[in-house]
Amino acid sequence: MLKIEHLTKTYPGGKIGVSDLSLEVKAGEIYGFIGHNGAGKTTTIKAIVGLHTFEQGTVLIDGISVTSDPLRAKSITAYIPDNPELYDNLSGMQFLNFVGDIFRVPKNVRKERVERYATELELRDALNNQVSSYSHGMKQKLAIIAAFMHEPKLLVMDEPFVGLDPKAAFTVKNMMREFCNKGSAIFFSTHVLEVAEKLCDKIAIIKDGRLIASGTMEEVKGNASLEEVFLEVTEEAN
Amino acid sequence: MRTLRILLRTNFLELVGSFRKKGKTSVIAAACTLIVLGLFLIGMFGIIGASTAFILVEKGLAEFSIYISLALGFIVALMFGVTNSTRDAKGNDTDMLLSMPIPKSHIVISKLLGMYLLDVLCTLVLLFPSMLIVVLVGGESPLLILRGLLFGLLIPAIPLFISLIISAVISALKRLTKFGQMFSVMVSILVVILYMFVVPNMTSFADSLEASTAEALEMMQQIPPLYWLTEAIYSGDLLCVLLSLLITLVPLGLAIWIHARSLSGIKMQADNSKKERVYRSSSARKAAFRMEFSRYFSSANWVMNTAFGVVILLLGVGYVAVKGVDGLSVFSEITVDGKSVVDVLNPVAWVAIAACVMNFFGMMTYTTPASVSIEGKRIWISKTLPIATRDILNAKIMVSLLIYQPFALLSSIVLGIRLECNPLHIIILYLISGLFQLLASLIGLIFGLIFVKLDWKNEAQVIKSGFAMTLTIFSCMGLGLITSAFCVFAVILREQQMLATLILLGEIVLLAGLSAGAYAIITHYGVRKYESLNG
């Protein structure tokens, strides 16, 4: 579903964001992406969703290149940023209608999905309020509903659990699993290793823009805990 | 005071840092534009202040000239203050600052300082030349200048207080009703109209004023606070000095107190949980346009800064429709070969003049220079959605066209009928003004893409003082001069109607060609530039 080959991104000024990164996320997989702050997680994610250009490599979503056919690639992708800055002067409902229109989600389907997800995430009653009145967690929930609403083939999430209350985090994890069971894929970054360990089918560890470990959870961590492996491989890479 | 000093230093460092990030060329260009604008403002206000004072001092009304300068300074400061009050003064960093051991008053002072300094500058630029003339020509004591400078620093506290009160009312109205936004735009437009009416006419008012010293004193006493300030500066009367200190320092303290309270005020939230959720669908292009449109109308500041030209245009057209062109003194007083110009000009010439005037309003009415920067950190939304960049940019252009074109068409028809033009000339009038505004919008979008600023703290930074906006204004002024040349030729050759009409058609062809070129730049360079942006 997502294939990254030799991705290299250098920032103006020479700082390397990501260097020769390759990985593949298959349909039905939840793929975790972990690393220190500034390791290159967000840079990789922004390259996948078309927010960053990159000099080398290819990013294919369901076989579609994000550079040569960005619109088709975007039409089957959803992105949830770590700090969702949304249109403050719209109501939550207006924002969802906007996203639904862009992704051409029929009205009845839109209604059914929004009602379901908004009820699950306990945001239903606040949907008619302005986004400016939302807390960080509520904005995160709104961005999650907007992403799930059009049922993309690939869901890219940057630190999706930051700001969510424990119940909402639990609900989102269930939604993610259910979503992948239908044949879609999720690629997400996180600092919460316990979540990655329990939720992910595969993981990749990135350090200083380079992939230092990747594979299924068993391949990467074996019998040790993910925390131990993470600390060990990142130390080794030094 | 230590925390205030730290805050001011940090604000300054952040300002310097924002320039450093832009690169040398942008900084030099921004500095040049600021200097030109500064000199223009100082020159304009200084000349108005000095010429008004000179006329009044010559008439033996030296004290009245100080009074008039103070009134002008007050109006200008009020205009800036009210225009500023349409924006939310709470910056992105307020919550962080409130969590630190910093007195609220220091946070407020650090935030209001920029607005206050601008008011001080305007007041002094108007007041100083008057005082200089009163001392040099009127032979008053030089101490007057010292007192004037002292009160020049305090006077802006009054309009600042008023604008903060209006700001609080607007903010309350926005929360309680749907009309807060509209109210805020209306108040701003009214104050700007007051400014436009009063300030340029002040010199001619002074010129036509025939009053004795006693009559002038009586006039001044009608507004006691202004009179006290005038007396405090002119004669240094102790009671008036004390009263002046009272009416400036108390509002300043109140302004800071009100603002400090509103900083951490809990906003009322309506309970919309029982309200029906409306699901409606439209095409992706329409959705992008609707989003752009609602973003525009959700910002009173943006509307205020761009819709003003349309309001004045409609007022002017309404006036001409009722009174006719002979009702406008600018035309009725001009004579050619002993005849009023109104009787000399034919419909083609009127179309040329009307096109020129409408272009001026078109010059004030475009939303595009700020339309890219206004997306700020939310740009990730449009960039990650499956919508073509060209459609996003087209939506920005469409909003700009929509706020002017229908009114331009209406104005062309009304003016055309009133000026007894034939349908062809009505179409020509609309095409010239419509194409001019289209070109201005396209140029604005190009500059908006080149000089984009996504890391703003307050939207006013990109709406009012953005570099893209300033450059667009100057470019449109240049463009206005070029198109005026066509109109001048059409007026000169008015008797050869066919030739005059051809000249106006030539203007249409030029504007259409330039618009096509500008649009081509947007669809090629603009699309690439937008796609390379990062919030």
Whether B272 sits inside 8 A of A91 (CB atoms) is yes
Same domain, residue pair B171 and B298: no
Quote the radius of gyration of chain A (alpha carbons, Å): 18
Same domain, residue pair B235 and B339: no
Same domain, residue pair B228 and B366: no
The whole-angstrom distance between residue A180's C-alpha and the CA centroid of its chain comes to 13
- Residue B358: C-alpha distances to residues A93, B351, B431, B483 (Å): 40, 10, 11, 11
Please answer whether residues B522 and B442 qualify as being in contact, where contact means their C-beta atoms are separated by less than 8 angstroms. Answer: yes
For residue A152, list chain B residues with Cβ-Cβ distance below 8 A: none
Compute the half-sphere exposure of residue A71: CA atoms within 13 Å on the CB side of its CA. 9
Helices (H), B363-493: 368-371, 379-384, 389-402, 405-418, 423-450, 460-463, 467-492
B56/B62 Cα distance (integer angstroms): 6
B491/B356 Cα distance (integer angstroms): 11
Q: Which two tokens stand for residue B172?
A: 């309350």
Q: Which of A9, A67, A128 to mutate to test the interface with B (most CBs of B within 10 A)?
A: A128
Q: What is the mean pLDDT of each run of 10 residues along chain A (238 residues)?
A: 91 84 92 90 90 89 90 90 84 88 89 94 90 89 93 93 90 93 93 87 90 87 80 73
The whole-angstrom distance between residue B104's C-alpha and the CA centroid of its chain comes to 30
Among A53, A98, A107, select the one facing B291 at the smallest CB separation.
A98
Residue B226: CB partners within 8 Å, gap ≥ 6? B67, B70, B71, B74, B220
B15/B18 Cα distance (integer angstroms): 5
Q: Tens of pLDDT along B83-136?
A: 665 555 455 666 667 666 777 778 878 877 777 887 788 778 878 888 888 888
B71/B77 Cα distance (integer angstroms): 10
Q: Which of B274, B281, B290 to mutate to test the interface with A (most CBs of A within 10 A)?
A: B281
Compute the half-sphere exposure of residue B499: CA atoms within 13 Å on the CB side of its CA. 9
Distance from the Cα of A36 to chain B's closest Cα (Å) equals 22
Is A45 in the B-facing interface, judged by CB distances under 8 Å? Answer: no
Residue A123: the pLDDT is 92
For β-strands A16-25 and A2-10, DSSP reports them as antiparallel
Please answer whether residues A136 and A158 qualify as being in contact, where contact means their C-beta atoms are separated by less than 8 angstroms. Answer: no
Q: What is the mean pLDDT of each run of 10 residues along chain B (535 residues)?
A: 76 68 66 75 76 81 82 75 57 65 77 78 81 84 87 82 73 65 69 69 66 73 84 87 88 78 57 74 85 83 80 86 74 69 80 90 88 89 89 94 94 90 92 95 94 80 78 89 89 87 93 96 93 80
Same domain, residue pair B307 and B210: no
Same domain, residue pair B219 and B304: no
Whether A49 sits inside 8 A of B381 (CB atoms) is no
Among A49, A101, A128, select the one facing B277 at the smallest CB separation.
A128
Distance from the Cα of A20 to chain B's closest Cα (Å) equals 21
Closest CA to A153 of A197, A103, A114: A103
Is B298 in the A-facing interface, judged by CB distances under 8 Å? Answer: yes
A149/A114 Cα distance (integer angstroms): 6
Residues of A (73-112) whose Cβ lies below 8 Å from B = 74-75, 77, 79, 81, 85-87, 89-91, 93-94, 97-107, 110-111
Residues of B (277-296) whose Cβ lies below 8 Å from A = 277-284, 286-288, 290-291, 294-295
For residue B531, list chain A residues with Cβ-Cβ distance below 8 A: 53
Question: What's A186's DSSP letter?
Answer: E
Residue B266: the pLDDT is 47
The verdict on residue B276 lying in a domain is no
For β-strands A154-158 and A77-80, DSSP reports them as parallel
Query: B105-124 burial, b for 16+ CB within 10 Å, e for fewer?
Result: bbbbbbbbeebbebbbbbbb
Residue B274: closest CA among chain A residues belongs to which residue?
A: A125
Compute the half-sphere exposure of residue B276: CA atoms within 13 Å on the CB side of its CA. 3
Same domain, residue pair B399 and B515: yes
Distance from the Cα of A151 to chain B's closest Cα (Å) equals 14
Please give the full DSSP string across B368-384, using - where no structure is assigned. Answer: HHHHTGGGGGGHHHHHH
Whether B280 sits inside 8 A of A99 (CB atoms) is no
Distance from the Cα of A217 to chain B's closest Cα (Å) equals 30
Residue B17: CB partners within 8 Å, gap ≥ 6? none
Whether A51 sits inside 8 A of B284 (CB atoms) is no
3-state secondary structure of B455: coil
Among A53, A93, A104, select the one facing B277 at the smallest CB separation.
A93
Range of the domain at B99: 2-263
- H or E segment and range at residue B75: helix B62-85
Report if pTM > 0.95. Answer: no
Q: What are phi and psi for residue A158, nearest 5 degrees?
A: -105, 110
Same domain, residue pair B256 and B301: no
Same domain, residue pair B227 and B292: no
A222/A228 Cα distance (integer angstroms): 11
Same domain, residue pair B317 and B200: no
Whether B385 sits inside 8 A of A85 (CB atoms) is no
Whether B377 sits inside 8 A of A85 (CB atoms) is yes
Q: Tens of pLDDT along B221-252?
A: 788 888 888 888 888 888 988 998 888 888 88
Query: Which of B215, B232, B263 finishes a domain?
Result: B263
Query: Which of B263, B298, B316 finishes a domain?
Result: B263
Ranges of each domain in chain A: 2-76+153-237, 93-151
- Residue A100: C-alpha distances to residues A108, B381, B446 (Å): 11, 13, 30
Query: Which of B263, B295, B327 finishes a domain?
Result: B263
Helices (H), A49-165: 70-75, 92-102, 107-120, 136-149
- H or E segment and range at residue B340: strand B339-340
Sheet holding A2-10: strands in order across?
A: A16-25, A2-10, A56-61, A64-65
Q: Tens of pLDDT along A46-56?
A: 999 888 888 89
Helices (H), B86-212: 94-98, 104-136, 143-154, 157-176, 180-208
The whole-angstrom distance between residue B301's C-alpha and the CA centroid of its chain comes to 10
B341/B314 Cα distance (integer angstroms): 24
Q: Which two tokens stand for residue B294?
A: 């609602």
Whether A72 sits inside 8 A of B272 (CB atoms) is no
Please answer whether residues B314 and B361 qualify as being in contact, where contact means their C-beta atoms are separated by less than 8 angstroms. Answer: no
**Encoded amino acid at B122, one letter:** C
Q: Tens of pLDDT along B136-195?
A: 888 888 888 888 888 888 888 887 777 777 777 776 676 666 666 666 667 767 777 776
Distance from the Cα of B277 to chain A's closest Cα (Å) equals 7
Q: Count CB-CB contacts under 10 A for residue B420.
A: 10
The verdict on residue B431 lying in a domain is yes
Same domain, residue pair B255 and B297: no
Residue B444: the pLDDT is 94
Is B534 in the A-facing interface, judged by CB distances under 8 Å? Answer: yes
Task: Establish, for the pair of chains A and B, how many residue pairs have beta carbons separated by less than 8 Å.
Answer: 99
Question: What's A121's DSSP letter?
Answer: T
For residue B388, list chain A residues with Cβ-Cβ distance below 8 A: 71
Closest CA to A193 of A164, A221, A163, A226: A226
Q: Which two tokens stand for residue A34?
A: 């972990």
Q: How many domains does chain B have?
A: 2
CATH architecture of A2-76+153-237: 3-Layer(aba) Sandwich (3.40)
Distance from the Cα of A134 to chain B's closest Cα (Å) equals 10
